[in-house]
Amino acid sequence: MKPSIHRPTQIIVDRQAIKNNFLHERQLLNDETAIFAVVKANAYGHGAVAVAQTVSEVGVDGFCVATLDEALELRQAGLQETILVLGVTPVQQAELAAQMNISLTVATLEWLQQAIELLTQPLKIHLALDTGMGRIGFTQHDAVVSACEFIQQQELIIPEGIFTHFATADEADTKYFHQQVQKFKQLTTNLPLKFKYVHCANSATSLWHLDCQSNMIRFGIALYGLNPSGTALTAPYELQPALTLQTEIVHIKKVPAGQSISYGATYTSSKPEIIATLPIGYADGWLRRMSGSSVIVAGQLCPIVGRVCMDQMMIKVPQMYPLGTKVTLIGTDQQTNLSAETAAEYCDTINYEIICNLSDRIVRKYVN
């Protein structure tokens, strides 16, 4: 999908905020701990290549993505750092990953056995351990040992890393988290193979469980200035949100009492009102469940009235504003703020989903 460059809806990404979040985290870690920036899902809506280039300028050690195609995008843009694909890649693509110096996650011995039949050059791999996430990875110590012994016999498989992922590192109750920590220790004890990277820390772990950082962290949502716990836990330093979502008023009118607005006629004016139309809708990622929430116009909160449409939505405003008046959906205007967390709380989800929903149709503009 091409960005709609001739429409006044845009995402503004503050590159300095991303750098600041990275550097604050760098200060918490010891010098031996590597930081891999998680730029999957188009860098959580911020733009994968631009974010990768931004943190490359301040010494990032590598990148994490979800798919091989996301990794290839970074390579094709000229990024030279280590890139780890966190998801399971079809074994038929192992040779392509090796050619492009992309590291792959391995979750079974069978995958390794099939890959070695296809490889003609070395492939870097990270063994995934399932310690309680229930998603992908080895669950038994003897299976991990068997995988390590197999790797030892292969010249074309390079054991670059071994890792797990925590399910509750962003919660105040740490019981299940510590169960996973113990499982990780058990699965990685007395292995016949040494790995360059041993990693279990996502953003939440790197913020609140520094003793579990191993020698690499996967720095994701916090890189973008958002709290992985929402509002449950306070970050050890001030996170700087990097993303602002703005649009403009493209139509405005006075309506009489009794006028219904948008699909389903779910909103009807109780008195004469001023209704403005905005060129953004659920095809852009501002989903229908945001109906009834607020945006900012000239420093004032203004409610979305009626259902959010695919490409447009309507808001109630206190006065007749000129066409082209700025409207903020995420960000600050005249000291009034609406964050991704504000939106998440309104529709009972998490800040991750709000920003990841923002579609490629919205233009990304980079500042600082």
Q: Where are the domains of the chain?
A: 15-224, 243-338
Inter-residue contact 66 to 32 (CB < 8 Å): no
133 annotated as a binding-site residue: no
> In terms of Cα–Cα distance, which of 280, 299, 295 is closest to 339?
295
Which amino acid belongs to residue 41? A
pLDDT for 1: 81
Strand intervals (E) in 4-61: 10-14, 34-38
Tokens standing for residue 284: 């852009």
Q: What are phi and psi of 28, to 5 degrees?
A: -75, -20
The Cα–Cα gap between 123 and 120 comes to 9
Architecture of domain 243-338: Beta Barrel (2.40)
* CATH dotted code for 15-224: 3.20.20.10
Tokens standing for residue 125: 């791999």
Neighbours of 288 (CB within 10 A): 15
pLDDT for 162: 98
The Cα–Cα gap between 230 and 250 comes to 33
The Cα–Cα gap between 190 and 164 comes to 17
Place of tokens 């870690």: 29
Catalytic residue among 40, 267, 316, 321: 40
The Cα–Cα gap between 42 and 303 comes to 29
Tokens standing for residue 79: 């990024």
What is the pTM assigned to this prediction?
Answer: 0.94
Place of tokens 């960005």: 3
Inter-residue contact 225 to 200 (CB < 8 Å): no
Catalytic residue among 185, 253, 263, 365: 263
The three-point CA angle 245-310-351 to 5° equals 40
Active site residue 40: yes
Provide the CA 133 distance to its chain's centre, in angstroms: 18
pLDDT for 233: 87
How close are the terminal C-alpha atoms of the chain, in Å?
Answer: 26
Provide the CA 14 distance to its chain's centre, in angstroms: 16
pLDDT for 211: 80
pLDDT for 214: 87
310 annotated as a binding-site residue: yes
pLDDT for 232: 85
Active site residue 2: no
The Cα–Cα gap between 9 and 23 comes to 30
pLDDT < 70 positions in the chain: 213
